[in-house]
Amino acid sequence: MKQPNTPASVWSVRIVLGLAGTALIGYGLLGLPTQLGPAQLLGLLTWMAFAILLHDGVIVPLLTLTGAGLTRTGSRLGPVSAAILRGALMTGAAVSLIAGLLLKAQSEARNISALEGNYAEHLLWFWAALAAAAAVAIYAFERAGRPRPPTGARPPGRAGSGKGERRQNTRP
């Protein structure tokens, strides 16, 4: 029986997908000028270029800087705590992005029964809840990973540096 992932079958799938994809791209690109005028197409291209520049030139470098700072901060924590810190900040950033656009839209366009929420207050509460949950979790993990005070005679040969022991005990 022929294996489904033999090079010939993989190549067949790649060719079919590639041709179908190219055809759909062509359909979309050829369809745009049927409904958009030259000035609108130019506006679209400008917005697309701006989207790339904003993402590649601003957002990712800023995230990288933040990540470098977190690596420094997180290296004083156990691996689970460091991951919780990063995950909480990632979650907060994603929600803030959505809420930030909402707030901007609220200041620009107002419609009956739309955009009526107090999004700034909601965002503050969200961050407060997120920070509290992350702090509790980090505290619990750090406390669980801390070396216990000796209850009796220290076993021979277990001098141990607290930090090293904690990390050994808190695998993700």
Partner 1 sequence: MQGPHPQKLTAALAAKFASPTRSTRLTVVLGRWLALTFTICFLTGLFSHGLQNPPSWMFFPTNPVWIYQLCQGLHVTAGIASIPLMLAKLWSVYPELLVWPPIKSVRHGLERASIALFIASSLLQLTTGLINTYKWYPWPFPFRETHYWLAWVIWGSLLLHIAVKLPAIMANWNGRAVRRAEQQGPERGPASEGTAAAAAVGMPGTGVAPGRWSRRAFLTGVGVSTGAVVLTTAGQSFSWLSPLNVFAPRVMGTGPQSVPVNRTAAEAKVADLATSGEWSLAVTYRGNSTTFDLAGLRALPQHQEELPIACVEGWSQTAHWSGVRIRDLIGAVGAPPDSALRVTSLEPEGPYRLMSMPAEYVQDERTLVALELNGAILDVQHGYPARIIAPGRPGVLQTKWLQTVEVL
Options 100-108, 138-146, 149-157: segment touching partner 1 (CB under 8 A): 100-108
Q: What is the closest distance, in whole angstroms, from the C-beta atom of residue 39 to partner 1 in the complex?
A: 7
Q: What is the closest distance, in whole angstroms, from the C-beta atom of residue 144 to partner 1 in the complex?
A: 16
Instruction: Give yes or no for residue 143 binding partner 1 (CB under 8 A).
Output: no
Instruction: Give yes or no for residue 132 binding partner 1 (CB under 8 A).
Output: no
Instruction: Give yes or no for residue 147 binding partner 1 (CB under 8 A).
Output: no
Tokens 């156990």 locate to 78
Instruction: Give yes or no for residue 137 binding partner 1 (CB under 8 A).
Output: no
Options 112-120, 139-147, 150-158: segment touching partner 1 (CB under 8 A): 112-120
Tokens describing residue 10? 């993989």
Instruction: Give yes or no for residue 43 binding partner 1 (CB under 8 A).
Output: yes
- In order, the DSSP letters of 127-171 are HHHHHHHHHHHHHHHHHHHSPPPPSSSPPTT----HHHHHHHH--
| Helix 38-54, helix 7-35: angle, nearest 10 | 130
By CB under 8 A, the count of residues binding partner 1 is: 83
Figure out which of the listed residues 3, 5, 151, 161 binds partner 1, where binding follows CB under 8 A.
5
* Residue 55 DSSP code: I
End-to-end alpha carbon distance in the chain: 43
Instruction: Give yes or no for residue 6 binding partner 1 (CB under 8 A).
Output: no
Instruction: Give yes or no for residue 71 binding partner 1 (CB under 8 A).
Output: yes
Figure out which of the listed residues 6, 20, 131, 160 binds partner 1, where binding follows CB under 8 A.
20
Q: What is the closest distance, in whole angstroms, from the C-beta atom of residue 150 to partner 1 in the complex?
A: 24
Q: Residue 74 CB: number of other CB atoms within 10 A? A: 17
Backbone dihedral region of 115: left (phi > 0), alpha (psi from -120 to 50 degrees) or beta?
left
Q: What are phi and psi of 111, to 5 degrees?
A: -135, 145
Nearer to partner 1, 104 or 154 (CB): 104
Let me know: does 85 contact 77? Beta carbons within 8 Å.
yes
